[in-house]
Amino acid sequence: MSSIREKAGKISLFIAGSAFRAALTVLIVVLLIWLGRTAYDFGYQVFNERAMDPDQAKEVTVVIPEGSSVYQIGKILKSKGLIENEYVFVVQEMISNYHGELRPGTYSFTTAFTPTKIIRKLAGDEELEGTDG
């Protein structure tokens, strides 16, 4: 009788172990798909030069305090409706030609500005006036 119980216990343990491995595999696959989509979406946002509202551009005044980090500047810009994501803005600034050159001050932007145009203006690019990009 104990040998039947032993066999039943081993079979139950095998089935439970197999179910656990299958559930773990499914969880890993779902996690990898989610991570892949998230990484793709983030990368797309970084390289997709999209203004927030190019058709109905509204003028917005932004004050960048002395000593603000790029992330803090991104939070300010997001709160003013000029960018969609402050983390994306940090990466866009990092890969731009103006990395580390953003200056404090009071700026006037429109919601038709792309992130690159905002970064250029924050860096004091004098050639910005009269350009579209």
What digits encode the pLDDT tens for the residues 65-88?
999 999 999 999 999 999 999 999
From the number of C-beta atoms within 10 Å of its C-beta (0-12, 13-18, 19+), residue 61 rates as: exposed
At 126 the pLDDT is: 64
pTM of the entire predicted model: 0.76
Query: Are 76 and 123 members of one domain?
Result: yes
Q: How many separate domains does the chain show?
A: 2
Query: Are 44 and 14 members of one domain?
Result: yes
- Please give the distance of CA 90 from its chain centroid, rounded to a whole number: 9
Radius of gyration over alpha carbons of the chain, in Å? Answer: 26
CB crowding 63-95: b at 16 or more within 10 Å, else e: ebeeebebeebbbbbbebebbebbebbbbbbee
Query: Are 69 and 23 members of one domain?
Result: no
Query: Are 69 and 123 members of one domain?
Result: yes
> Does 54 fall in a domain?
no
> Does 53 fall in a domain?
no
Query: Are 63 and 37 members of one domain?
Result: no
Query: Are 24 and 71 members of one domain?
Result: no
> Does 5 fall in a domain?
yes
> Does 106 fall in a domain?
yes
Which domain covers residue 121, as residue numbers?
59-128
Share of the chain above pLDDT 70, in %: 92
Torsion of CA 43, 45, 46, 48, to 10 degrees: 110
